[in-house]
Structure 1
């Protein structure tokens, strides 16, 4: 879609948000595997203006390309000095009535609520000391950068539909996310009208 103001539906966008190091990508990857048989559930590949790093398989763009393509993005935002976006494939899936999972930003939730007819928020949290260890293990940032990330805590504009305190095993949190996604997808999936001929 080229018009950034067009509302997107009838499918659903599930934005997984939370502080850096909470384990959002790990839980999304586990949910992706658990839901692999669902043709109506997709995991969005974020576009980011930085090289791909450990623990995050995203597409990369230059700032110039990001600016040029911005009108075509389903959603975009800035965080941590970088630009992020969900691409046109997300708009296509949601227009087809499918459910999309994406790693998002708490700061962009007001824009997302105005953009998508069906937006669900999953907030993933973890204690500061756990997040610090995970950020250090990624090897993407200096100790100072990590300290700055740990102090950022933008507020959610409304209560999330699901809160995951990610302190158990990754499998536990991932399956909790997968169960929620499955329920949303079942709710938004188009149902055959009564009396319609059976598909063969």
Structure 2
């Protein structure tokens, strides 16, 4: 952990006192779309921050993230600059140092996460809530294919390797209709924290 993260860690070594809300679910569930909706709805809330992940993939129109090449990611990881990181779908993902700063300041940080990283998040952060966004498999496959980043075979393989949740989520959002419907559910949950 970096010096800032160590300073933010509580007595038990976990980052706090703020709350990390991890939004997880299968690829194509619409997590980024719902996060963008909630971010707009909660723009006036200074106590809620929406994290921008670091990903070893070029930026594109489908997701608001910070693109990092593999060497820079490995270096930042070795320096302890990521309060949470994981591997998925052949890429490296992380939450940046600002997440640890916001958590240490007592804020709520909302992040697009991974089910594979939930146990590590619970080990590193004093307070974690889990939101599971999902949709039927055929809708997930269609949404992933529409991105144009993967072949049909890669899409099916991605959907088959999604790990199970380690515990029931604090909120489940079935994202099948209008963005506003599921978006209001997420924004209402976050606004009530």
What TM-score do the two structures reach when normalised by structure 2? 0.92
Q: Which residue of 1 aligns with 2:155?
A: 146
Q: Distance in 1 between matches of 2:92 and 2:82?
A: 12
Q: Residue 7 of structure 1 is aligned with which of 14, 21, 28? A: 14
Q: Which contiguous aligned blocks of 4+ residues in structure 1 show a shift greater than 6 angstroms?
A: none
2:181 matches 1:165: no
CA RMSD of aligned residues (A): 1.3
Q: Residue 46 of structure 2 is aligned with which of 27, 39, 44? A: 39
Unaligned ranges ≥5, structure 1: 185-200
Q: Residue 127 of structure 1 is aligned with which of 115, 124, 136? A: 136
CA contact (8 A) 1:54 1:138 kept: no
Report the alpha carbon displacement of residue 53 of structure 1 after superposing the two structures with TM: 2.5
Report the alpha carbon displacement of residue 153 of structure 1 after superposing the two structures with TM: 2.5
Report the alpha carbon displacement of residue 172 of structure 1 after superposing the two structures with TM: 0.8
Q: Distance in 1 between matches of 2:102 and 2:159?
A: 34
Q: Distance in 1 between matches of 2:182 and 2:94?
A: 25
Q: Distance in 2 between matches of 1:77 and 1:37?
A: 31
Q: Which residue of 2 aligns with 1:112?
A: 121
CA deviations 1:38-70 (Å, max 9, x no partner) are 011111000000111231011011111111101
Unaligned ranges ≥5, structure 2: 7-12
Q: Distance in 1 between matches of 2:60 and 2:154?
A: 15
Aligned residue pair count = 184
Q: Which residue of 2 aligns with 1:18?
A: 25
Q: Residue 72 of structure 1 is aligned with which of 81, 102, 110? A: 81
Q: Residue 54 of structure 1 is aligned with which of 61, 85, 90? A: 61
Q: Distance in 2 between matches of 1:122 and 1:94?
A: 18
